């Protein structure tokens, strides 16, 4: 496990998502009611940033074709997307957000 700092907690407001370009592929970090989650940033349906989407009740909606994904599990919640997102372990320590990029796994 190799957690790396990606941003500060204050950088991601509740109900918001933030694109992070610290790794081989961009990730998106989400604040769901104070809980932090991380997934791949690129939608599995097309080349589009999920961090630019709408986050509601832990579901991110892609703004290109309106596919939806659960940010906790990576599971597809609405078509046209059909492949789940890769999700990453997250730790919050002292107001800083850390992600283990290498431990990412394809969601359910
Ligand atoms: Fe995201 Fe099509 S690119 S739903």
Q: How confident is the model at residue 60 (pLDDT cuts 50, 70, 90)?
A: very high
Q: Which tens digits make up the pLDDT trace of 10-23?
A: 999 999 999 999 99
Q: Is the CB of 60 under 6 A from ligand 1?
A: no
Residue 97's SS3 state is strand
Average pLDDT, the chain: 97
CA of 79 to the centre of ligand 1 (A): 9
Cβ-based burial of 14 (10 A; exposed 0-12, middle 13-18, buried ≥19):
exposed
Q: What is the DSSP string of 8-68?
A: EGGGS-TT-EEEE-SSSS-EEEEEETTEEEEEESB-SSSS-BGGGSEEETTEEE-TTT--E
Atom of ligand 1 nearest to the CA of 66: 4
Q: CB under 8 Å to 88, separation ≥6 — which residues?
A: 27, 38, 39, 99, 100, 101, 103, 104
CA of 12 to the centre of ligand 1 (A): 23
CA distances from 25 to 33, 40, 51, 78 (A): 26, 7, 13, 24
**Token reading at 104:** 């990412």
This prediction has a pTM of: 0.96
How much is the pLDDT for 1? Answer: 64
């Amino acid at each position: 496990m190799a957690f790396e700092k990606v941003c500060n907690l204050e950088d991601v407001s509740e109900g918001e998502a933030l694109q992070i370009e610290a790794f081989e592929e961009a990730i998106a970090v989400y604040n769901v009611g104070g809980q932090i989650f991380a997934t791949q940033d690129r939608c599995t349906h097309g080349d589009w940033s999920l961090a630019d989407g709408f986050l509601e009740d832990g579901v991110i909606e892609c703004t290109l074709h309106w596919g939806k994904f659960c940010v906790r599990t990576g599971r597809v919640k609405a078509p046209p997307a059909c492949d789940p997102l890769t999700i990453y372990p997250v730790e919050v320590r002292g107001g800083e957000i850390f992600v283990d990029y290498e431990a990412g796994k394809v969601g359910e």
